[in-house]
Amino acid sequence: MKDATLKQIATQLGVSITTVSKALKGYPDVSQKTKNAVIDLAKKLNYTPNSFAVNLRTKESKTIGLIVPTVDYNFFSKVFEGVLEEAEKRKYLVIILRSNEKLEVEKKQIELLLNKRVDGILMSLSNETGDFDHINNIIAHKTPLVLFDKIAKLVNCSKVMINDRKAAYDAVTYLIQKGHKKIAHFRGSYMPQNSIDRFLGYNKALEDNNIPYDSNLVYLCDNNTDFEDGYNNAQKVVVDHPDLDAIFAITDLVAVGAIKYLNDIGIQIPKQIAVFGFCNSFMSEIITPKLTTIDQPGFEIGKRAASILFDEIELIRNNVAFEFQLVELETGIIERGSA
């Protein structure tokens, strides 16, 4: 049907199908006069942008790139499953690259994907990413881009995230309502927006509950918010603050590290010290005690980000105008034994 219409345009204008196809694609070797004639007739015949897509299909690679900071066993694995599920549905292939939380690697990976002429890029920024020239370069290449989780507010593209500040605020408010007053925060590094926002949420919850902020209660996780970070910081915090009654950790992995250390030295959780995580990863259910945490919808984040990217790839191909989307997915508190 669509091919028939393409042929119809060609026949009516007395030009070849190739010329019609080229005119619709905006090729420079077709005169502006012919282009205008083709476009006018296409409109008249209700030759919709969607059917243009069919003819442009040969230009697409049906492949996208996904850059993640790390391949972990928790959040990014879930994101990955969501991306793959959507990609399978929409018949796209996914090239996965890691930045290893390094800005230089991230730049290189973007270059590789642009050289590969992928149809679009999904990415979550590394902890080192503080300037965004390389990200803006993706946009300059007219390659559709969707950022998720660790996003840059200054980059003009669609973004899928959670409200990290609100989620952290809810977590710390929950701890305060349970009677905890001396709450440490094991925070992420200083660059990523989600790490900043979780810290700000912690801060605001204290403020709104008239608990003075004490910077000595904030411990940096400098090893990519790893299990070791939680373990080591727990070791420090119990010495520094013997009257501590709760820990709000930036990720489940950090929380699990903390629980491991507290278990090792015989501190009762949550009776002596409560521990609150962030992610709701599989391990939060199998550790003893089970981890109270924020439900961060990794699968949904991946699926949604991929879906928006595929839509934008197709809209751009069809020359349909669209606006970037800022999607904020819901989070909730998963109450378990640790807080």
Which residues in this chain contact its own copies in the complex, by CB under 8 A? 63, 71-74, 77, 80-81, 84, 88, 93-98, 112, 116, 227, 256, 260, 263, 281-283, 286-288
DSSP 174-198: HHHHTT---EEEEE--SSSHHHHHH
Least distance to its own copies from the beta carbon of 12, Å?
A: 35
Least distance to its own copies from the beta carbon of 58, Å?
A: 13
Helix 252-264 and helix 227-240, axial crossing angle in degrees, nearest 10: 50
Least distance to its own copies from the beta carbon of 186, Å?
A: 17
Least distance to its own copies from the beta carbon of 62, Å?
A: 8
Question: How many whole angstroms separate alpha carbon 279 and alpha carbon 274?
Answer: 17
For its own copies, the closer of residues 33 and 91 by Cβ is 91
State both tokens at 278.
């962030």
Place of tokens 């003075």: 212
For its own copies, the closer of residues 40 and 111 by Cβ is 111
DSSP β-bridge partners for residue 160: 148, 327
Least distance to its own copies from the beta carbon of 206, Å?
A: 29
Question: How many whole angstroms separate alpha carbon 76 and alpha carbon 81?
Answer: 8
Least distance to its own copies from the beta carbon of 81, Å?
A: 5
For its own copies, the closer of residues 250 and 291 by Cβ is 291
For its own copies, the closer of residues 96 and 267 by Cβ is 96
For its own copies, the closer of residues 77 and 223 by Cβ is 77
| Closest C-alpha among 294, 292, 296, 251 to residue 274 | 292
For its own copies, the closer of residues 95 and 267 by Cβ is 95
For 264, counting Cβ atoms within 10 Å of its Cβ (0-12 exposed, 13-18 middle, 19+ buried), the class is exposed
Least distance to its own copies from the beta carbon of 64, Å?
A: 10
Cβ pair 277, 292 in contact under 8 A: yes
Question: How many whole angstroms separate alpha carbon 150 and alpha carbon 129?
Answer: 10
Least distance to its own copies from the beta carbon of 78, Å?
A: 8
Cβ pair 181, 211 in contact under 8 A: yes
For its own copies, the closer of residues 50 and 61 by Cβ is 61
Neighbours of 7 (CB within 10 A): 12
For its own copies, the closer of residues 188 and 298 by Cβ is 298
152-166: b or e for each residue (b if 16 or more CB lie within 10 Å)? beebebbbbbbebbb
Question: In degrees, to the nearest 5, what angle opens at C-alpha 69 toward C-alphas 63 and 70?
Answer: 100
